[in-house]
Structure 1
């Protein structure tokens, strides 16, 4: 696995997360649909490599935490 390529894609994905959150809002179905679809594409692209799966799960947990904190004010 090309780790440099993978982590560069992760960094790009995080930038896209910020863009999608600005466009749709973190509370929207459109945002979360995009998050789930795009994170799943990593698994497909990297044949569900354990590091890839765990990295994406960590990022999803992080997004949920950010969303929760935002909703709490």
Structure 2
């Protein structure tokens, strides 16, 4: 496993996430569709290695926490 490539892809994903969130708010279906598609692509690239999957789950969980925090402010 090329862990440098994994972490590079995760870093690129985080940068892209910031860009996507400028076009689609974290509360939008478009944002979450992008999250699911993009993390799935990374997982598949690394044959869904268990540790890679855990990193991706952590990214999704973090975004979900951000969403809940923002949604709580708007209620």
TM-score by length of 2: 0.93
User: Hey, what does 1:51 align to over in structure 2?
Assistant: 51
Tell me how many residue pairs correspond in the alignment. Answer: 73
Which structure exhibits the higher relative contact order, with contacts defined as CA atoms closer than 8 Å and separated by 6 or more residues?
2
Provide structure 2 residue ranges, at least 5 long, that are not aligned to the other structure: none
Provide structure 1 residue ranges, at least 5 long, that are not aligned to the other structure: none
Separation in 2, partners of 1:67, 1:21 = 11
TM-score by length of 1: 0.95
Deviations 1:33-61 (A, max 9, x none): 00000000111100010111000001100
